Structure 1
């Protein structure tokens, strides 16, 4: 096959002419791209510093800065292809269709995303709080966009979906700073109630971790068939709650032993027919 040098020359001249005509658009498009990426990085850094200076919640600050970063990148990309001469209307329509399809297939994830936004904005709890929700309890270690991470007493990590968490009941044990322990001690009917209550009150007053205000409460809770149940309700700081509960039970048992008061065990009634 014989090569036609005249055609090759014509093609080369046409290519060079198109390249010369198109080069200003190409150069300006890539210039916008590189300058835009650099500017986005600077803007994102300034926004992060501003949110830290305003003492914004770290979780919310990270989310807003990441959202702004990707929004600016998408805007820059649309500007870049528009500068190249590519029609953006059809491109935007394709993105919209893709977004609709992805949204329909990820309804659960979008629900969790919306729940994460509600948690971040309204702050029913924060990192470090001890909460109970969705049948689990633990200390909040991280609030992510889709899930909240809890660490329970066994050092197990629990991931709770934000969609269910934001729509359910949340018990925040850390919000008020102090907690009340609800303990029960059972004594026999032969025991002097006043003496038992005085001993318990003395035990609570001698514990430095028990708060003086609000005042402790020792009262008769219930009269059962075989015992008198006393309600013991001391208040403590959140950090001391566990030790106050266990120390109160141990010290009350020791005080009862010294005073000759016996804690009445629980007796289960059994039918004679059985």
Structure 2
């Protein structure tokens, strides 16, 4: 067996040298092309994770091409090999159809950036703070510190609500008073409470108005604007302050009631 190999090398040493030159020079060129491709993506401000992934794919394809060229120089019939690689690629593609969908969605998420790490979003049937955007999935952390991993296909194929995309948000609140209470006094109390909160923005101006004459209450809408980071603090604090101030001013906050009449037969 060793003698056969030695004889083959003696008869084909020129082809062997050429094949090795093709492989090593081709590998060197493939590395240069891959680095150049990565630099182009970097200048286009593509995310690092996508640059690394696409560069890996490009490098693998180039190395396959170099290997086929080197084998062809040695006299190996590469036609059937190329067909085999193509068939394997199709089979893998069909087997990984869902994964490829997640990959494509991940690429779109990274390129178009509907959200970034640190944003609080509602996407893929879940809500939370985005911790990591990977090629196949996105990891979020819920307010109660649970980790959710969502396939990117589920995210990109549905509605995405980004609560952190804008610097400011409007806080929508509704407060009801009784029909016997002083309407103007209640509106003045609400206006003073909103204006005294330094976290509430002056522009756009807050809206305080009667929105509905309900079944058991007169309802005010209170809609101030705040910085996004202050949203929940203002929401919770305002509800507490309104309840305390209404109690102090003798303004009632009605709750649903039902009168039951029993007829004696």
TM-score range, shorter chain: 0.7 to 0.9
C-alpha separation in 1, matches of 2:136 and 2:106: 6
> In structure 2, do the counterparts of structure 1 residues 207 and 219 end up closer, same or farther at CA, with 3 Å as the change threshold?
same
Q: Which residue of 1 aligns with 2:63?
A: 73
Q: How is 1:129-140 mapped onto 2 (pairs within 5 angstroms)? A: 129-140=119-130
Q: Which residue of 1 aligns with 2:91?
A: 101
> In structure 2, do the counterparts of structure 1 residues 225 and 50 end up closer, same or farther at CA, with 3 Å as the change threshold?
same
> In structure 2, do the counterparts of structure 1 residues 103 and 213 end up closer, same or farther at CA, with 3 Å as the change threshold?
same
C-alpha separation in 2, matches of 1:189 and 1:164: 48
C-alpha separation in 2, matches of 1:179 and 1:223: 27
Q: Which residue of 2 aligns with 1:171?
A: 161
C-alpha separation in 2, matches of 1:151 and 1:202: 37
Q: CA deviation at 1:59?
A: 4.0
Q: CA deviation at 1:270?
A: 7.1
State which of 247, 253, 258 in structure 2 corresponds to 1:263: 253
Q: Which residue of 1 aligns with 2:206?
A: 216
C-alpha separation in 2, matches of 1:269 and 1:52: 67
Q: Which residue of 2 aligns with 1:207?
A: 197
C-alpha separation in 2, matches of 1:140 and 1:88: 47
| Count of paired positions | 262
Q: 2:137, 2:149 within 8 Å by CA — same for their partners in 1?
A: yes
Q: CA deviation at 1:255?
A: 2.4
* TM, length-normalised to structure 2: 0.85
C-alpha separation in 2, matches of 1:55 and 1:104: 32
Q: 2:46, 2:110 within 8 Å by CA — same for their partners in 1?
A: no
C-alpha separation in 2, matches of 1:28 and 1:243: 72
5+ long unaligned stretches in structure 2: none
State which of 107, 110, 119 in structure 2 corresponds to 1:117: 107
* TM, length-normalised to structure 1: 0.82
C-alpha separation in 2, matches of 1:73 and 1:221: 68
Q: How is 1:84-99 mapped onto 2 (pairs within 5 angstroms)? A: 84-99=74-89
C-alpha separation in 2, matches of 1:43 and 1:198: 70
The secondary structure found in structure 1 opposite 2:132 is strand
C-alpha separation in 2, matches of 1:56 and 1:107: 25
5+ long unaligned stretches in structure 1: 1-7
Q: CA deviation at 1:137?
A: 0.9
Q: CA deviation at 1:48?
A: 3.8
> In structure 2, do the counterparts of structure 1 residues 47 and 107 end up closer, same or farther at CA, with 3 Å as the change threshold?
closer
The secondary structure found in structure 2 opposite 1:261 is coil
The secondary structure found in structure 2 opposite 1:247 is helix
> In structure 2, do the counterparts of structure 1 residues 17 and 199 end up closer, same or farther at CA, with 3 Å as the change threshold?
same
C-alpha separation in 1, matches of 2:5 and 2:48: 54
The secondary structure found in structure 2 opposite 1:249 is helix
Q: How is 1:20-35 mapped onto 2 (pairs within 5 angstroms)? A: 20-35=10-25
